[in-house]
Structure 1
């Protein structure tokens, strides 16, 4: 196993140091981060060009997460059967095609088709990075390197802040998708040129199982009682923050407080800058497997409370400050990945991470779609939609936090 120093070894199966290959893989994850948060910046343009209501906008934002999550399971099996490099290189062109289709979309339906392609194309992006770390870096440093990787991937969030807002302001939302398409093609070339998978004894034998056997293995994970607490909270924490950052941030600040598109982009940029550092910080503060679940449960409950407070805030500066606080807290989600890794034996790590990531993005799709419908329902009844949306997110996250506390933990955490 590679040492934490990241020094290259004499393994002839690769020509690049581990950190170079990881950075190349992270370029794909950064693009994935960018695509999942574009709606907050392009929402106004989409509403003008296609006459979208809040429910349609929520469905558009949620479709990335839905297609990403549904494809996650198959991509996880593909990562085990065909390897990280081949799976990522085969899937990413779908995302590139989806970005091009979105830039050229003549109607809302074509725009939705582009979202499906993007979601499927980038579905293996982060799991490929976490599996690479799990297989080739020291186990006790998993949380730190995963957090650092999450931070590097946050560069994609930076682009969907002020830079994308500036592009959209001057050339329109279609140009934003065009730039993302070009960056995606460059990422594919980097992965093709630089990534070679080192041999590792813990990696599963290629093609050792049929697809049916692999799917049955995922079913076995769901039969384990502790999986459900992980899945329920996994469907809620990231979904809550991404629903704010990726969907409602721009409309809320512009409609409730009169912010300009560029002002909203600056707030999104600030949250993205925070996202570069907080996962690694929480990874460094990882309290260990026996106290980690309590940290995750408490942090998620606190985040639910902050959403509830924001629902009743009617001061622009205080709302922005609260968003910044939520951004600082959001880094705790990296501890959930560490919890997943500690809750299953090593031979199930890849599938467990894929299942958890699938749960995350199905949660994103459900929450963004649901909050879009809730916002439309509230507006039709004369209520302020953002208050109802934020309260719905707070309630969802609070209930998931309680379920995580009450459902059983992994027996492995009790043995170690």
Structure 2
């Protein structure tokens, strides 16, 4: 079990790294490939779209063949192959295709771990374990900040990505060789069920809007917009961008560890999610109203968004409590699909919002509009979530 969890943590570190690396690579990709912030927003959006769409077949595969083969094969082909294509990119389109492939490769890693947690541990531990693997795996987010900038400066961005392709292949081999699948669970009726059976669970309906939006702000801003925002509004160089995004990444890591045991303190997944997302909304309000108040305030608010925007494992634990054992794979991947699809849609939308705002206003006004774009859906999703109900068995 230790090896199983260990290799899934390494795989999730890679997943976090790949979704965060574009913020630091923006200057060099612009200089060498002519890639604009809009081009890279599309690339990151494609990562999330392919990741999200893969959740349906990944859920089927987890329930039918288990996490070992599902995660090992996809991580090798998509993750390793996509990183190699990125290293050979000659233009923005190549980067976009590469990121889409990497999204496919990373799609089963976290859910493979969640599948094992749901099948092998008590329900009361699911939230803590789910948050812990994200917390430790978020070291990949940190590696995608200052360490990545240092590697690019020392060795070059292509050489760095070739090295990452090799590391990804090694981790995928470890998953395939050492992960142990839990025993299969048969449905009471003898049928395996489908994602439609998950969608029929009414307890999930009021959670889905917030599930779609809770991670979008921290993922989208840390993954891409933090770098251009700091450069355009404050004139920050690559080193300063790396430092601020590293701080935001550390805050995101701490946020996961903070939320993990919080359900036991509050006695409710729902209460934790409401408090956390309310705080996230406050941080976005301040960025919207005062985007140019100073580099230090901007850095603190970005860290606040990173810290409080990590309620994904809490919402997963809340939703997991309503899913029967024989639908575990399909259930957790469906919830993850809504979350990642929301990030993808917001990422695509953010590109258009920013470009239109840039045509008619200053950079400060454009980024103010961008932060408002992330804020409004969050408030709507949180308002709907207020009417959801706790499952009393979720925290026992």
On whether the aligned pair clears a TM of 0.5, the verdict is yes
Could you list the runs of 5+ residues in structure 2 that have no partner in the other structure? none
Report the equivalent of 1:313. Answer: 291
Q: CA deviation at 1:289?
A: 9.2
Q: CA deviation at 1:143?
A: 1.4
Report the equivalent of 2:45. Answer: 62
* C-alpha distance in 2 between matches for 1:218 and 1:396: 25
1:385 aligns with 2:366: yes
* C-alpha distance in 1 between matches for 2:79 and 2:348: 21
Could you tell me whether the CA contact under 8 Å between 2:42 and 2:347 is conserved in 1?
A: yes
1:327 aligns with 2:268: no
- After superposition, residues 336-347 of structure 1 pair within 5 angstroms as 336-347=315-326
Could you tell me whether the CA contact under 8 Å between 2:33 and 2:90 is conserved in 1?
A: no
Of residues 84, 87, 100, the one that matches 2:70 is 87
* C-alpha distance in 1 between matches for 2:119 and 2:277: 29
1:129 aligns with 2:113: yes
Of residues 195, 202, 225, the one that matches 2:202 is 225
- In the comparison of the two structures, how many residue pairs are matched? 389
Could you tell me whether the CA contact under 8 Å between 1:148 and 1:277 is conserved in 2?
A: no
Of residues 169, 179, 188, the one that matches 1:195 is 179
Could you tell me whether the CA contact under 8 Å between 1:275 and 1:331 is conserved in 2?
A: yes
The Cα offsets for residues 58-79 of structure 1, whole Å up to 9 and x where unpaired, read as: 2111110000000111111111
- After superposition, residues 4-403 of structure 1 pair within 5 angstroms as 18-93=1-76, 94-197=78-181, 199-200=182-183, 203-205=184-186, 214=193, 217-287=194-264, 291-311=268-288, 312-314=290-292, 315-383=294-362, 384-403=365-384
Could you tell me whether the CA contact under 8 Å between 2:318 and 2:390 is conserved in 1?
A: no
The Cα offsets for residues 209-250 of structure 1, whole Å up to 9 and x where unpaired, read as: 99xx75xx2122223333332221111011111011111111
SS of alignment partner, residue 343 of structure 1: coil
Could you tell me whether the CA contact under 8 Å between 1:59 and 1:368 is conserved in 2?
A: yes
Q: CA deviation at 1:194?
A: 2.2
* C-alpha distance in 2 between matches for 1:224 and 1:133: 21
* C-alpha distance in 2 between matches for 1:288 and 1:131: 25
Q: What is the TM-score with the length of structure 1 in the denominator?
A: 0.87
The Cα offsets for residues 125-151 of structure 1, whole Å up to 9 and x where unpaired, read as: 100011111222232222112221111
Could you tell me whether the CA contact under 8 Å between 1:92 and 1:122 is conserved in 2?
A: yes
Please identify, of 229-238 and 339-348, the stretch whose mean Cα deviation from structure 2 is larger. Answer: 339-348
Q: CA deviation at 1:359?
A: 0.9
Q: CA deviation at 1:393?
A: 0.5
Q: What is the TM-score with the length of structure 2 in the denominator?
A: 0.91
Q: CA deviation at 1:171?
A: 4.2
Could you list the runs of 5+ residues in structure 1 that have no partner in the other structure? 1-17
* C-alpha distance in 1 between matches for 2:268 and 2:126: 16
SS of alignment partner, residue 90 of structure 2: coil
* C-alpha distance in 2 between matches for 1:171 and 1:378: 37
Distance 1:352 1:162, change over 3 A: same
Please identify, of 252-261 and 370-379, the stretch whose mean Cα deviation from structure 2 is larger. Answer: 252-261
* C-alpha distance in 2 between matches for 1:398 and 1:186: 42
* C-alpha distance in 1 between matches for 2:178 and 2:393: 37
* C-alpha distance in 2 between matches for 1:228 and 1:174: 44
* C-alpha distance in 1 between matches for 2:249 and 2:37: 24
Please identify, of 289-298 and 258-267, the stretch whose mean Cα deviation from structure 2 is larger. Answer: 289-298
RMSD: 2.4
